[in-house]
Amino acid sequence: MTVVALLFRFTLAAVFLHAGVVKMIDLGEFRLAVRNYRLVPERLLGPLVLALPLAELACAALLVVGIGTGPVAALLVILLAVFVGAISVNLLRGRTFSCGCSGRTSSDITWRHVIVNAVLAVMAVQVSFWAAQPLTVAAGWGLHDSSSLTPGQAAAVLMAAATTAVLVLLVRETLIVRRAISARRRPVGDSAGPVGEVTG
């Protein structure tokens, strides 16, 4: 179970790293998505739009280095439960709109989003209960002793690291696409070059 929890931990870190970065890239788009849920008072919209991606990035970083793994995973369980509730409420109301989870590339909310977030919540629960995995800096809840890596655990670490690397590359590609879109929108005569010109 320790190997599974370790793999879940890095998967969650990769997911929330990507989610936090794409939201921070375009806070305006994320703000619109949050407003569409119609669950947050307008006066709280601004603070929430900034706090949520920062929290996601912080949780991802703590999971990667293994500091406070148990409490961080428990916080993600709560966060994911809120996501499940917010999406479900709007789907039951017959409303569909951009989920806001992946910036401008976000798809409209469906029951698939509910299932995915529920699965991630189950993974976070697993990580929370098995917090003291190898490679952690802090022992999560302090309930178990850490142990040395077995070959199977080392393989799981490599798989998790590969997953994280792929997500980092996706974030990089997202930034490149964003710059390309901005370049196409430049008015004629812009000093950066002709309209529609994209450089590599």
Beta bridge partners of 135: none
Tell whether 13 is covered by a domain.
yes
Smallest Cα–Cα separation from 72: which of 81, 82, 60, 80? 60
More confident residue, 2 or 175: 2
- Strand, helix or coil for residue 1: coil
pLDDT value at residue 88: 94
Tell whether 91 is covered by a domain.
yes
Percent of the chain at pLDDT exceeding 70: 64
What's the pLDDT tens digit per position in 6-40?
Answer: 888 999 999 999 999 989 988 888 899 899 998 88
Instruction: Report the C-alpha gap between 24 and 74 in whole angstroms.
Output: 23
Q: Which range has highest mean pLDDT (58-62, 64-68, 105-109, 158-162)? A: 58-62
Domain residues for 135? Answer: 2-148
Tell whether 142 is covered by a domain.
yes
Tell whether 36 is covered by a domain.
yes
Tell whether 29 is covered by a domain.
yes
Residue with structure tokens 């401008």? 104
Counting the structural domains of the chain, the total is 1
For residue 52, what pLDDT band results from cuts at 50, 70 and 90? Answer: very high
Please compute the mean of the pLDDT values over residues 102-114 and round it to a whole number. 84
Tell whether 164 is covered by a domain.
no
- Strand, helix or coil for residue 97: coil
Two structure tokens written together for 28: 């305006």
What's the pLDDT tens digit per position in 151-173?
Answer: 555 555 555 555 555 555 566 55
Tell whether 26 is covered by a domain.
yes
- Tell whether the model's pLDDT for residue 198 goes beyond 80: no
pTM of this prediction exceeds 0.85: no
Instruction: Report the C-alpha gap between 7 and 150 in whole angstroms.
Output: 14
| The dihedral sign for the CA sequence 6, 100, 91, 72 | positive
Smallest Cα–Cα separation from 77: which of 129, 35, 136? 129
pLDDT value at residue 104: 72
Tell whether 28 is covered by a domain.
yes
| The dihedral sign for the CA sequence 74, 87, 160, 102 | negative
